[in-house]
Chain A
Amino acid sequence: MTINRGASARKSIKPAEAFIGSAPDARRKGVIRGRKEQITLTIAPELLAKVDALAGRMGQSRAALINRAIYELAERVTA
């Protein structure tokens, strides 16, 4: 028998997840811009100057360079 008309089958897992995820503490506090989350980063002026100089040489934005550096570090550490 492949037909299951039980109520428990109709009430699937996904609505339960949505119910749990609707609680106020489930909402993210950060600001989402597109597919990325905005964060605040403080950085030493000397290091920022190096980042900007490197970004200029590589033809990248400051944010792109910082993202790439963090990505490469994370990949290396978790490898």
Chain B
Amino acid sequence: MIVTVGNTKGGVGKTTMAVQLALARALAGRDVLVVDGDRQGSAQMAIAVRTEAGRLPGLTCVQYPDGPVLRAQVQRLATKYDDVVIDAGGRDSTALRAALILSDRLIVPFLPRSVDVWALADIAGLVDEADAVRDGLQAFAVLNAADPGASGDNAEAAAALADFPRLVLLDAPIRRRKAFANALGLGLSVAELTPRDAKACEELAALAFMVFGDQVNIKAD
């Protein structure tokens, strides 16, 4: 399956989520390719840290910030891997658009903040444009760095998704936890991090199940 973690808005935790999802699959025994579609190359850096540490299972990572190159190369590479996770966006880019053409599923992380909710219109618009060019893209949004506990902001942000019917809410929020950032810096899954953050592990497992599972649990409101 080809999954893109993407958003035209920056700072929503795309790279952290993409690498964590890729590692969750790798730890489940899948051969995973990570495609870094960002010139900054943070995903590639995190995976390089993992590789240098000799940590297994390994992840293969390639960086294609140029959309046409990403499209051509990932089309060739996708058949050689069980799963492909593309980290793309931060702005409207050729890489993000190429990823929207290629992917089976788009996961849009967003924060429970007004500016993030406003920015959903941009990525929803791009999904609409992609729909005019291809069939079958499944587009989901998921709360990232959500407030701890039962937060009114989390619920309001989730409810605001109703304005964008093309983005289906995945009811597997990732909360704001240092474990995710720390794990990324070490090229590790939160499941490999010590001391272990059990809640972070549970959240990631729930998200990975929904993203890669055959049956995606769609929250019915």
Contacts and interface: CB of A to CB of B under 8 A. Distances in A.
Interface of A: 7-8, 11, 15-26
From DSSP, what is the main secondary structure of chain A's interface residues? Answer: helix
Q: Which 5 A-B pairs have the closest CB atoms?
A: A20-B67, A23-B94, A20-B97, A15-B133, A19-B133
Nearest to A8: B135
Contacts of B133: 11, 15-16, 18-19
B139 to A, nearest CB: 15
From DSSP, what is the main secondary structure of chain B's interface residues? Answer: helix
A36 B59 CA distance: 44
A21 B134 contact: no
Given A21-B94, A23-B94, A26-B67, A16 B101 contact: yes
Contacts of B68: 17, 20-21
Contacts of B93: 23-25
A27 B177 CA distance: 39
Contact of B101 (A7, A19, A25): A19
Contacts of B135: 7-8, 11
30 contacts: A7-B135, A8-B135, A11-B132, A11-B134, A15-B132, A15-B133, A16-B71, A16-B101, A16-B133, A18-B133, A19-B100, A19-B129, A19-B132, A19-B133, A20-B94, A20-B97, A20-B98, A21-B67, A21-B68, A22-B97, A23-B67, A23-B92, A23-B94, A23-B97, A24-B92, A24-B93, A25-B91, A25-B92, A26-B67, A26-B94
B4 to A, nearest CB: 13
A74 B67 CA distance: 28
